């Protein structure tokens, strides 16, 4: 895929320049300098020869076939150049030129024009406004970057050219290898997902690394990421604030979604390993690119000093990793060669006078222990230790075994050369023990992800047709919200139990209704303008007699008239009062990039105060629904604490799956929530006590 | 303080060695090599001359006065040597020798002997089992470290010699200056607090940096830290698992305290800036040592690229810092020289073609804006930017103004030399934007700490004498727990309201008691063996009639006999049922290092499930009590959400202060808790519904 971008037979540099320091010069120089073997054609109407190559006045004049065009002409000329590329049968162009969408409305116009022209001409585009593209294996450096990284197995794509520069600059200093380096620029045509797919197919790429600020098509992103992440680790740093969720929200669900909920959910659902800082992005990449995955969370630590050992142990405790107790045989073996005051348990402290040989023997012994899934080796550069010798010894063992070994040689002056030795032999070395631990932890979590069975989806009855008329009516009447009876009908159709309810317009009707339903009852105001009824005293619960019902009717209607004099009052709803159970809130919200999301949280005031909610993007698999219930902090309350009975968690799960189906059936839902959904004891189901639906034009 | 350790007139190296590579040689060499100006006396009975110096057979033979003794003889001889030091009037000795407490029981004996001898001889000791001591200003390098850091203003002490080595190794590579470097070793005599006090007094030290795994005396640590932290930033990395809290706990308070609660509380109460990783320790030290504190949280970001700008903005949003909107005049001024497509708002993006001059003008303009409390300058090493020139320009401006400027020049190869330039001019440079943000944030928080008014303490009536007899009786009877009536008496004396209660031994007595108290009532089992009554069905609430009370009596007693056949049942307590209010839990627990702590949390199952609690060490100031209530996540529930009334927060605060006083009055309390403490509406107070006290031998 996208082969001509990464392994073209020939390259035209359109806008090549004679002036060193100009981008059109630097690109040409990079292509020549870093050993590209194909033909290179500089294009510039005003030059004859640049860097010893014959220059062509236009793309059309180039004699041979052109695999890749690299474009660095002024923004106004780019469209025309792309047209010419199309004429020449070029299907791949990297557009370096800036001055498009990123620079305002004039640029946006130019970019739209460019995209149109590219489509018409059959040219795929990376950029515009990018640093270029590097492939270390095919020796293509079609960029104006100040260098070429070593060959390696990390494929990096970035929405920010600056981050490309920074990552490359560090890679050059530390001899970190990359397979491909793709600066995405404005992503006018080729998107993150296109590149991710190309990197997934690329045999030279073991680890896919990305920096994004947003995605064009959230759904497609998830599909592609899910597909890739089972095969190759996909590590992404996402920054920036998404636009959705920040909008004024008319339901809790919307307000609780916040800015990051959609990306968080999407990454979780599609197995993306999320880096939370630039440092983490690097650290994870080194671990995944160089070491095998651990088969489990059991880690052993070997150290020549107590303090760093404790620091690493603390970090393990904060992670999913576990300091595994070593086998008796392992400990016995360690005793045969370590000094008696060493620590034979985990962390294994081989003491400050440890030599390279002692490190080697200790590591060799520990990796024999089949309980150990991975090892972190810490080293403080004491006067006695041969740091480089230790690095070599560790590298030798690491290359013999199929379990991950990560190191933290602490300090800088005395460990820099050995860090490079380790890197050369594919052992990632970290400045601090905590970094090694968090990287191994990320690997361990990823191993759990790839071991997971495939997701399964519920097959629900097709109910859409039965309530389509309701949604159509609401739209026809240009309403945004479903009325109470409409909500009742929709929920009933989708199988939600609801309290017995009767509508009453007068105090007398209310009393009669209460009698029919049976005491105690709940009374709620019915008014299209009132969304949060309880906020304005529009709900009364636990009404036990005729008198209480009569008084409540008077109270509610008077209060509502006082507070919202313009509200239309249709009357009150008299509802069966369901006793017992735990309140949860479930809902649908819509994200600008990922579409519908389902929310879950423990209800009542706690969801508001603690914001202890979880989100998943529609459609929900069984596993998604299960996990989103379990990942809330309040989950133990549903399971039952202190002898309380367990709530019907299966029924919650089913409710979430139904909401997911509802969202698929009705794309026009902007927000919906059942709040509270009353969860009864295990096996006794759930009851939708109250709900609201908001729909939009979609 | 401890002057002879850091600025001695002369130094004796006892155990000096002729053999390069031996510790006794390396120390002597370091002292000579790094420019110490005083007299140096090697001591070794078997040598005549080492490194050109006359060697003395014993300390007693040294002719002149000796300021500091550095001891590197075998462990068995150290005590004797220290005795001789005493005879010679030496009051300061650094004991490098290992083989003491850290190496087992034999070593512990040696160490105890050593401490005794040192005390008798009037010699203060740093170590044993340490790397030594460095003072860059007096040019003392009494250590076997592989180098001497630059002069600087960071004073570092460490419980781990390894961390000293690692920190020094990085400092040497990056030209980071230190004032003093103290490897504490086993802290047999001179403790963290002694060193902290010495560093606080030291004019060359601006920032105190420490690594600890534990402290000898928690109280003293807090006192000293509180005193110092108002004058100098005290940044500490604490690792390791404290022993307290891990013990089996008989109350929620104990179980919730966990391993880190005491240190967390102690650091908060005494203004210690806690670093959470070795990286953070370094990052914070660089910021505090080199830049002035920000007067507020308003930060401006200047960047030559969008991505890193967004990354930094995200990090600000996760911190206490705020991206301040710039003044209109500032924006107007920026417009006069920045390209039109630049971003004039915060982050200020001066674009990828920014030169050093543009950086200089932009920074100069932004610091004119008096709303800006601090600036973070980001740089990606593009081809056009003169990185070193930019570093110099930033340094010039930073040195003119009294607000902090931190930088993140990203990458490594192209920015290493400019990083050193920045460092030379006291501008800390970070590898990643997130590190600059978190460091500025730490400074901002510290500024808030030093601006805080002094703590105030409550004056409570002296009530101890009134209930002393109860605690004495419990001890005499060798009981661990106070009985229900004893608890009642203690709480009443200390001013806690409690529900009306009557004791009933039979069903008839229970009914009579309920009648006297008034329905509804609560019934609780009374048995010295039953601590968590509700776990075994030993509590019934909301009993509304004679029949219900009679049935409940039968139920409870039968059930308890079933579940705990050996429990002594004294009868039941009939209690007034208090309606309304919110349940909180408050308690006392005891930490091995810091003594009594007070706990607060929202009660019910939430405190158990969410562990949303806060701790402070006794005695509590008004401010401590206030903050510990406010820092729980559930605090908004007390303040009232969705139109609910506010709970009586002042009464909770007072209750916490009373518990603090109780803990001071009765050191023998191991654990106490009031659970639930029912908090009524604002102004209506609290009621202690249930409580338990456990006391120990103290």
Give the three-class secondary structure for A438: helix
Residues of A within 8 A of B380 (CB-CB) are 162-163, 165-166
Of A104, A535, A633, the CB nearest to B610: A633
Class of domain A3-205: alpha beta
Give the mean model confidence (pLDDT) for residues B154-165: 94
What's the whole-number average pLDDT of chain A? 91
Half-sphere exposure of B604 (CA within 13 A, CB side): 13
Give the mean model confidence (pLDDT) for residues A529-554: 86
Residue of chain A with shortest Cα separation from B537 = A643
From the list A76, A75, A77, the residue with the least C-alpha distance to A58 is A77
Parse chain A into domains and list their residue ranges: 3-205, 287-451, 500-577
Of A102, A432, A643, the CB nearest to B279: A432
Tell me whether residues B240 and A606 touch, CB distance under 8 A.
no
Q: Is the pLDDT of residue B383 over 90?
A: no
Given the structure tokens 């050219």, which residue do they identify?
A161
User: In this predicted model, what pLDDT tens digit does every residue of B652-682 receive, in sequence order?
Assistant: 999 999 999 999 999 999 999 999 999 999 9
Class of domain B3-240+252-286: alpha beta
Q: Do A689 and A666 touch, CB atoms closer than 8 A?
A: no
Given the structure tokens 């105001």, which residue do they identify?
A525
Q: How far is A435 from chain B (nearest CA, A)?
A: 9
For residue A327, CA distances in Å to A313, A330, A344, A368, A400 come to 18, 5, 11, 10, 21
| pTM of the complete model | 0.90
Per-residue pLDDT, B353? 86
Q: How far is A26 from chain B (nearest CA, A)?
A: 9
Residue of chain B with shortest Cα separation from A639 = B609
Question: Which of A130, A307, A419, A532 to probe the B interface (max B CBs under 10 A)?
Answer: A307
From the list B136, B146, B130, the residue with the least C-alpha distance to B177 is B136
Answer whether CATH 3.40.50.720 is correct for domain B454-499+578-698.
no
Of B163, B168, B380, the CB nearest to A162: B380
Per-residue pLDDT, B257? 55
Residue of chain B with shortest Cα separation from A143 = B383
Of A166, A432, A642, the CB nearest to B277: A432
CATH architecture of A500-577: 2-Layer Sandwich (3.30)
Tell me whether residues A166 and B410 touch, CB distance under 8 A.
yes
Q: How far is A313 from chain B (nearest CA, A)?
A: 8
Give the DSSP letter of residue A373: -
Q: How far is A160 from chain B (nearest CA, A)?
A: 5
Q: How far is A39 from chain B (nearest CA, A)?
A: 26
Instruction: Please report which confidence band the pLDDT of residue A237 belongs to, taking 50, 70 and 90 as the band edges.
Output: very high
Tell me whether residues B169 and A381 touch, CB distance under 8 A.
yes
Per-residue pLDDT, A243? 36
Residues of B within 8 A of A382 (CB-CB) are 162, 165
Tell me whether residues B413 and A147 touch, CB distance under 8 A.
yes
Q: Do A130 and A185 touch, CB atoms closer than 8 A?
A: yes
Tell me whether residues B308 and A174 touch, CB distance under 8 A.
no
Q: Which residues contact residue B678 at a Cβ distance below 8 angstroms, ignoring those fewer than 6 apart? A: B578, B581, B582, B583, B686, B687, B688, B689
The CA distance from B216 to B65, in Å, is 33
Q: Is the pLDDT of residue A242 over 90?
A: no
From the list A38, A56, A59, the residue with the least C-alpha distance to A47 is A56
Give the three-class secondary structure for B13: strand
Residues of B within 8 A of A644 (CB-CB) are 605
Q: Which long-range contacts (CB under 8 A, 24 or more apart) does B471-476 make?
A: B471/B666, B471/B668, B471/B695, B474/B695, B475/B668, B475/B695, B475/B697
ipTM score of complex: 0.87
The CA distance from A224 to A237, in Å, is 17
A270 φ, ψ (degrees, to nearest 5): -110, 10
Tell me whether residues A308 and B162 touch, CB distance under 8 A.
yes
Per-residue pLDDT, B434? 95
Token pair belonging to A548: 């209480």
User: Is the fold of A3-205 the same as that of A500-577?
Assistant: no
Residues of B within 8 A of A211 (CB-CB) are 307
Q: Do B207 and B154 touch, CB atoms closer than 8 A?
A: yes
Q: What is the 3-state secondary structure (H, E, C) of B267-314?
A: HHHHCCEEECCHHHHHHHHHHHHHCCCCCCCEEEEEECCHHHHHHHHH
Given the structure tokens 């604030």, which residue do they identify?
A241
Question: Which of B162, B246, B282 to probe the A interface (max A CBs under 10 A)?
Answer: B162
Residues of A within 8 A of B173 (CB-CB) are 411-413, 416
Answer whether CATH 1.10.287.980 is correct for domain A287-451.
no
Question: Which of B24, B29, B239, B532 to probe the A interface (max A CBs under 10 A)?
Answer: B239
Tell me whether residues B412 and A304 touch, CB distance under 8 A.
no
Residues of B within 8 A of A634 (CB-CB) are 606, 609-610
Pick the CATH number of B291-451 from 2.60.120.10, 3.90.25.10, 3.40.50.261, 3.40.50.150: 3.40.50.261
User: In this predicted model, what pLDDT tens digit does every residue of A255-278 receive, in sequence order?
Assistant: 555 567 899 999 999 999 999 999
Q: What is the 3-state secondary structure (H, E, C) of A202-252?
A: CCCCCEEEEEECCCCCHHHHHHHHHHHHCCCCEEEEECCCCCCCCCCCCCH
Per-residue pLDDT, B246? 33
User: In this predicted model, what pLDDT tens digit does every residue of A654-690 receive, in sequence order?
Assistant: 999 999 999 999 999 999 999 999 999 999 999 999 8
Residues of B within 8 A of A416 (CB-CB) are 173
B230 φ, ψ (degrees, to nearest 5): -75, -20
Question: Which of A148, A162, A408, A637 to probe the B interface (max B CBs under 10 A)?
Answer: A162
User: In this predicted model, what pLDDT tens digit does every residue of A560-595 receive, in sequence order?
Assistant: 888 888 888 888 989 999 888 899 999 999 988 899
Residue of chain A with shortest Cα separation from B311 = A239
Per-residue pLDDT, B592? 84
Tell me whether residues B169 and A432 touch, CB distance under 8 A.
no
The CA distance from A402 to B622, in Å, is 58
Q: Is the pLDDT of residue A254 over 60?
A: no
Instruction: Please state, for a pLDDT cut of 90, what percent of chain B lies above it.
Output: 76
Residues of A within 8 A of B420 (CB-CB) are none
Q: Is the pLDDT of residue A290 over 80?
A: yes
Q: How far is A675 from chain B (nearest CA, A)?
A: 15
């Amino acid at each position: 895929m996208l082969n001509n971008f990464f392994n073209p037979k020939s390259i035209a540099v359109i806008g090549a320049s004679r002036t060193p320091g100009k981008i059109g010069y630097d690109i040409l120089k990079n292509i020549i300098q870093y050993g590209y073997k194909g033909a290179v054609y500089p294009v510039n109407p005003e030059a004859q020869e640049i860097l010893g190559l014959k220059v062509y006045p236009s793309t059309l004049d180039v004699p041979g076939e052109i695999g890749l065009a690299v474009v660095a002409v002024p923004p106004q000329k780019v469209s025309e150049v792309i047209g010419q590329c199309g004429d020449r049968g070029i299907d791949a162009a990297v557009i370096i030129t800036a001055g498009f969408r990123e620079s305002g409305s004039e640029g946006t116009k130019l970019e739209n024009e460019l995209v149109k022209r590219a489509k018409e001409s059959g040219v795929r585009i990376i950029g515009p406004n990018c640093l270029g593209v590097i492939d270390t294996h095919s020796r293509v450096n079609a960029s104006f970057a100040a260098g070429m990284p070593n060959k390696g197995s990390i494929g990096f794509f970035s929405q920010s050219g600056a981050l490309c520069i920074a990552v490359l600059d560090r890679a050059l200093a530390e001899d970190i290898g990359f397979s491909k380096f793709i600066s995405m620029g404005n992503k006018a045509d080729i998107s993150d997902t296109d590149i991710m797919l190309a990197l997934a197919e690329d045999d030279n790429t073991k680890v896919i690394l990305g920096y994004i600020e947003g995605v064009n098509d959230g759904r497609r992103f998830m599909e592609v990421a899910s597909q890739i992440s089972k095969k190759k680790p996909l590590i992404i740093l996402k920054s920036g604030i998404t636009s959705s969720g920040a909008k004024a929200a008319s339901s809790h669900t919307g307000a609780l979604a916040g800015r990051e909920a959609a990306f968080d959910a999407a990454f979780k659902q599609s197995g993306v390993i999320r880096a939370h800082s630039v440092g983490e992005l690097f650290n994870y990449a080194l671990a995944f690119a160089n070491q095998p995955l651990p088969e489990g969370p059991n880690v052993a630590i070997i150290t020549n000093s107590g303090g760093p050992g404790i620091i690493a142990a603390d970090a393990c405790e904060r992670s999913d990793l576990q300091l595994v107790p070593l086998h008796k045989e392992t400990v016995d073996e360690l005793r045969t060669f370590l000094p008696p005051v060493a620590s034979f348990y985990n962390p294994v402290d081989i003491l400050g006078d440890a030599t390279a040989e002692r490190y080697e023997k200790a590591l060799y012994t520990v990796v024999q222990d089949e309980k150990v899934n991975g090892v972190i080796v810490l080293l403080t550069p004491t006067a006695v230790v041969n740091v480089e010798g230790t690095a070599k010894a560790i590298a030798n063992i690491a290359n013999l075994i199929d379990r991950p070994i990560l190191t933290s040689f602490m300090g800088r002056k005395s460990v820099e050369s050995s860090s490079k030795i380790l890197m050369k032999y594919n052992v990632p070395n970290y400045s601090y023990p905590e970094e090694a631990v968090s990287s191994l932890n990320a690997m361990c979590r990823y191993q759990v992800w790839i071991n997971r069975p495939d997701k399964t989806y519920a097959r629900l009855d097709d109910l859409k047709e039965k309530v389509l008329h309701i949604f159509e009516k609401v739209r026809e009447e240009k309403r945004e919200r479903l009325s109470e009876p409409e909500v009742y009908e929709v929920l009933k159709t989708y199988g939600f139990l609801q309290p017995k309810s009767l509508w009453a317009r007068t105090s007398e009707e209310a009393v009669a209704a209460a009698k029919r339903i049976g005491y105690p009852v709940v009374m709620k105001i019915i008014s299209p303008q009132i969304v949060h009824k309880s906020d304005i005293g529009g709900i009364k619960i636990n009404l036990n007699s005729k008198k209480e019902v009569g008084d409540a009717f008077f109270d509610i209607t008077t209060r509502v008239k006082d507070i919202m004099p313009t509200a239309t009052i249709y009357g009150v709803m008299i509802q069966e009062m369901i006793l017992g159970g735990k309140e949860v809130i479930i809902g649908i919200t819509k994200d600008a990039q990922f579409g519908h999301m389902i929310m879950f949280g423990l209800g009542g005031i706690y969801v508001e105060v603690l914001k202890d909610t979880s989100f998943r993007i529609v459609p929900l698999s069984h596993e998604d629904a299960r996990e989103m219930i379990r990942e809330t902090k309040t989950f133990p309350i549903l399971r039952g604490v202190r002898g309380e009975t367990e709530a019907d968690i299966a029924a919650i799960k089913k409710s979430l799956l139904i909401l997911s189906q509802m969202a698929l059936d009705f794309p026009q839902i902007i927000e919906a929530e059942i709040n509270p959904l009353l969860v009864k004891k295990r096996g006794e189901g759930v009851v939708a006590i109250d709900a609201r639906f908001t729909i939009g034009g979609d």
